[in-house]
Amino acid sequence: MKTNKSAKIIMSTNTHLNFPKIKAGREAFDVSRAVFLTGDITGEMVSALTPRILTLAQDTSRPITLCIDSDGGNVRAAQVILGLLRTPNQSGERCPLHTVVTGRACSAAANLLAAGDYILAYPHSNIHFHGTRFIDEPVLTVEKAREFEEELIGENRSASVRLAASVFPRQLLNYSRLIDTIRSTRKSDAKTLAPFDELYLPGGFDVPAYSLHLNRNLNYPYDDMVYECIQQTHRRATLLKAYRGCKNPEEQLAPIVRAALSQKQKESKTDAVIGKEMLLLNAMIAERIKNEEKWSPSSQDFVRLEQEFQELQAVADGSYQGEVLDQLLLSPKDRKFCARYGMSKDQKQKAKADKIVDQAYVMIEPFWSFTVGLCGLLFRGENPLKPKDAWWLGLIDEVIGTPTTRRELSKQVRESLLNQMPLAEAEKFY
């Protein structure tokens, strides 16, 4: 895979990521500025906590700590609480948010926990993720059931992307800490990793070796979840490679489809989009025919096919780029150039800036796809987690009183980061 040399991702044994300067341990947990979320999350809880949150939010120089011991509750109420905690004031400033699970953080409470800028867990605590649910069982018809199914699938997809946006920086930080181990794993377990080499980018991220290290440090069933995720990520990468490498898309479509698209072209301008979508769908079906011995259209779960198609399409058309732009690891020179010309009216310079970002995205895409897939699996079934597993999955920063903690960045590393960051991100370090 060709990449722009200046857009290469440079790894070291230290971190290079844009994390706020937040001290670990006791200094990260300010009880005097704590909000206690205990019990079911309800509208009444929102009313009770709002005055406290608004009072604390007036001082944007100090963090607010949200202490959680809850089995979850109303999703909308949880979103209101999060909105109050994270909405900036008229000057565009907001309090850093520390979240702490003191007992249990389940369902909607787990989503609140994951929204923290710095996330802590007590060693005895439990974190529990599962798919979106309707609490009140409605009277169903076939049509209504289908409507609810689509809504639940959409909610799960949105929730997994939001969670991935929170988890992704922590996974990158874990990766940078483990870089020497990952390189060693690449050499010692080359045969084990070979089936997933499509995801290995020399000079960039070795997602397969990293996933193998995760697999070995997680307890069941999360070790198996990581293995399932790397298989899923590899499958997507293979499909995308075939899709993107097709030089004459329309020729790959069945004659009956080409004829329909030709007719469509005379009536509207949507045929190009439909053609690309049909090509991607064909690539998915071809992959199933090749790799699933008993696959047939009559046995296909089309709801699942639709869900996978939408997820793959979002990666194929770059819909996720906005979620990872802040994590693109560009050289200081490239970052400065993109900041200057990314929105420029000079089309030549803008095109150059876009190319740099696109090439950087290609480098980071396998890791992002892996993270989104992992978070998606957390919203399938019941997933109760102990703090250590949550730490390895990037869901929390620190298990209080244990060595599993995000270390404070050294002055040298922090200064290096500041030179690579937009001003809005750099200000977090002061």
Query: In whole angstroms, how large is the CA radius of gyration of the chain?
Result: 23
pLDDT tens-digit readout, 85-95: 998 888 888 88
pLDDT at 7: 36
d(CA 95, CA 59): 7
**Residue 80: band (very low, low, confident or very high) from pLDDT cuts 50, 70, 90:** very high
Cβ(234)–Cβ(196) below 8 Å: yes
- pTM for the predicted model, two decimal places: 0.79
The CA-based diameter of the chain, rounded to the nearest angstrom, is: 70
> Nearest 5°: CA angle at 64, between 62 and 68?
160
Q: What is the H or E stretch that residue 367 is in? A: helix 347-378
Cβ(381)–Cβ(131) below 8 Å: yes
Cβ(379)–Cβ(75) below 8 Å: no
d(CA 404, CA 197): 30
pLDDT tens-digit readout, 11-63: 333 333 333 334 444 445 677 889 999 999 999 999 999 999 999 998 887 88
Phi, psi of 46 (to 5 degrees): -55, -45
Cβ(119)–Cβ(395) below 8 Å: yes
Cβ(315)–Cβ(283) below 8 Å: no
d(CA 38, CA 254): 58
Taking alpha carbons only, the member of 167, 168, 213 closest to residue 189 is 213
d(CA 289, CA 400): 49
Assign 292 to helix, strand or coil: coil
Is residue 139 scored above 60 in pLDDT? yes
- Helices marked H in 69-141: 75-86, 108-114
pLDDT at 225: 96
How would you classify residue 360: left for phi > 0, otherwise alpha for psi between -120 and 50, otherwise beta? alpha
Taking alpha carbons only, the member of 415, 394, 425 closest to residue 113 is 394
DSSP for residue 62: S
User: Cα 230 to the chain's mean position, in Å?
Assistant: 15
Residue with the bigger pLDDT between 259 and 386: it is: 386
Residue with the bigger pLDDT between 263 and 412: it is: 263
Q: How many CA atoms lie within 13 Å of 412's alpha carbon, on the beta-carbon side?
A: 2
DSSP for residue 9: P
DSSP string, 269-312: S-HHHHHHHHHHHHHHHHHHHHH-TT--GGG--HHHHHHHHHHH
pLDDT at 41: 96
pLDDT tens-digit readout, 381-395: 899 999 999 999 999
Around Cβ 34, how many Cβ atoms within 10 Å?
Answer: 17
Cβ(1)–Cβ(366) below 8 Å: no
Token pair belonging to 399? 């298990």
Q: Provide the mean pLDDT of the chain.
A: 79
pLDDT tens-digit readout, 283-306: 888 888 888 888 888 877 777 788
Residues 6+ apart with CB under 8 A from 384: 106, 126, 127, 128
Phi, psi of 175 (to 5 degrees): -60, -45
